[in-house]
């Protein structure tokens, strides 16, 4: 009888219990769904490193847009002054033109009263060329010297007034373009900063702590690189002095002169000291994009104000400041030099010495002193000596 029994599926064991095959399949599906549900949030959400990189990129882009804003603001200001001058000039010339027109009208009326053949004297006041009008009516040879001078003056005034009106119109068009550029740059800065703030606000307390730890590690590495540079610069300075002393002992000025000529400029002079002292006095003041002091600064606003305090006028933007002096190597950097960053030259700081600088870093931060390697050695674009 036993041989007629149907064999039963052995199924599988879960936690020591034999389960049917169908139940096993169901449990497997549940397990897979559970794993998928647990994995979904982490798959969709960017890693902390990705968030950090994204935020850094946004701040950098905001810095670049800030310099474009600064350039557009400066251009707009200059253009507005130019247009105001042109409009004032047009107003004065228009008044002179009206006076000349009135005088010509009185001469034409006088000619008419004397019986001269001037059938359309009144049209003189609207004529494009009074000279042609008088010639066509054969009046020029009848005019007195004063009258001829008045005609010539009117023609000159009319030509100059029309020219200035064209210049003013073109100036207004340029001003409008500059204002549009200013609005675009401002909007770009605001959007970049808003996106960065939004990304940071979505971090948990644990993630923020981890982000702070990553930043601390970067600062430690930057400090290490600064110390290496300071050591290198100290060694080079000691060697330079040794060579000078050796040359003096030998009684030869040529070697000393050669050594001095190989040493970079005079950035460590009085002007550089004044610029550096000013910048260090601003430590603790907030970064505000587009600001030039005295309560807040952006990066180029700080360096411009610092060198202005030393009697040196620098351009407003990093793009122009980078060309406002002599370029030297990082190893030759001296206090007061300008250190520029990134391929788009969107950031600048004032070198202090020992591998450090004073700069206005980014929105939400304050003017501070830190390593020039704060964003890695590769981020340094160039070093420029203004004086």
Percent helix, strand and coil across the chain, each rounded to 5?
A: 65, 10, 25
Contact 73, 290 (CB under 8 A): yes
Tokens of 63: 């810095």
- Of 332, 349, 354, nearest in space to 222 by CA: 354
Is 299 one of the annotated active-site residues of the chain?
yes
Tokens of 383: 């070093």
Residue 168 phi/psi, 5-degree rounding, is -65, -40
Question: Could you give the dihedral angle defined by the CA atoms of residues 264, 269, 272 and 275, in that order, rounded to the nearest 10 degrees?
Answer: 180
Which one from 347, 356, 362, 385 is the annotated catalytic residue? 347
- Of 137, 138, 139, 156, nearest in space to 99 by CA: 156
Which one from 196, 299, 305, 345 is the annotated catalytic residue? 299
Contact 185, 69 (CB under 8 A): yes
Burial of 113 (0-12, 13-18, 19+ CB in 10 A): exposed
Is 4 one of the annotated active-site residues of the chain?
no
Find residue 369's DSSP bridge partners: 358
Cα gap 47→43, rounded to integer Å: 9
Which one from 285, 359, 362, 385 is the annotated catalytic residue? 359
Burial of 80 (0-12, 13-18, 19+ CB in 10 A): middle
Q: Tell me the CB-side half-sphere exposure of residue 277, using CA atoms within 13 A.
A: 9
Residue with tokens 């960065």: 196
Cα gap 85→302, rounded to integer Å: 31
How many Cβ atoms from other residues are within 10 Å of residue 100's Cβ?
A: 21
Find residue 382's DSSP bridge partners: 340
* Residues assigned a catalytic role: 299, 347, 359
């Amino acid at each position: 009888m036993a041989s007629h029994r149907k064999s039963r599926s052995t199924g599988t064991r879960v936690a020591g219990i034999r389960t049917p095959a169908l139940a096993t399949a169901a449990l497997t599906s549940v397990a897979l769904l559970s794993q998928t549900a647990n994995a979904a949030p982490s798959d969709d959400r960017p890693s902390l490193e990705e968030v950090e990189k994204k935020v850094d990129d946004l701040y950098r882009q905001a810095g670049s847009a800030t310099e474009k804003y600064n350039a557009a603001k400066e251009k707009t200001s200059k253009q507005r002054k130019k247009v105001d001058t042109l409009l004032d000039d047009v107003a004065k010339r228009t008044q002179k033109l009206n006076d000349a027109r009135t005088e010509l009208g009185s001469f034409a009326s006088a000619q008419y009263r004397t019986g001269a053949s001037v059938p359309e004297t009144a049209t003189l006041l609207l004529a494009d060329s009074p000279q042609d009008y008088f010639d066509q009516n054969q009046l020029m040879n009848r005019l007195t010297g004063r009258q001829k001078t008045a005609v010539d003056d009117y023609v000159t005034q009319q030509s100059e007034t029309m020219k200035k009106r064209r210049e003013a119109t073109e100036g207004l068009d340029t001003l409008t373009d500059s204002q549009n550029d200013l609005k675009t740059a401002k909007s770009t800065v605001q959007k970049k900063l808003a996106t960065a703030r939004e990304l940071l606000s979505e971090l948990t307390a644990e993630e923020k702590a981890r982000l702070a730890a990553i930043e601390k590690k970067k600062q430690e590495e930057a400090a290490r690189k600064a110390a290496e540079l300071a050591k290198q610069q100290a060694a080079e300075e000691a060697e330079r002095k040794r060579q000078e002393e050796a040359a003096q002992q030998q009684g030869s000025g040529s070697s000393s002169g050669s050594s001095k000529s190989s040493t970079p400029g005079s950035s460590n002079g009085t002007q550089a000291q004044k610029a550096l002292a000013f910048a260090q006095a601003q430590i603790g003041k907030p970064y505000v994009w587009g600001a030039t002091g005295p309560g807040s600064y952006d990066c180029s606003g700080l360096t411009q104000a610092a060198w202005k305090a030393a009697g040196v006028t620098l351009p407003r933007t990093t793009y122009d400041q980078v060309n406002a002096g002599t370029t030297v190597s990082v190893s030759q950097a001296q206090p007061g030099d300008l250190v520029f960053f990134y391929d788009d030259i969107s950031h600048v700081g004032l070198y202090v010495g020992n591998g450090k600088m004073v700069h206005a870093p980014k929105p939400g931060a304050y003017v501070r002193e830190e390593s020039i390697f704060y964003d890695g050695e590769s981020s340094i674009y160039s070093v420029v000596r203004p004086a």
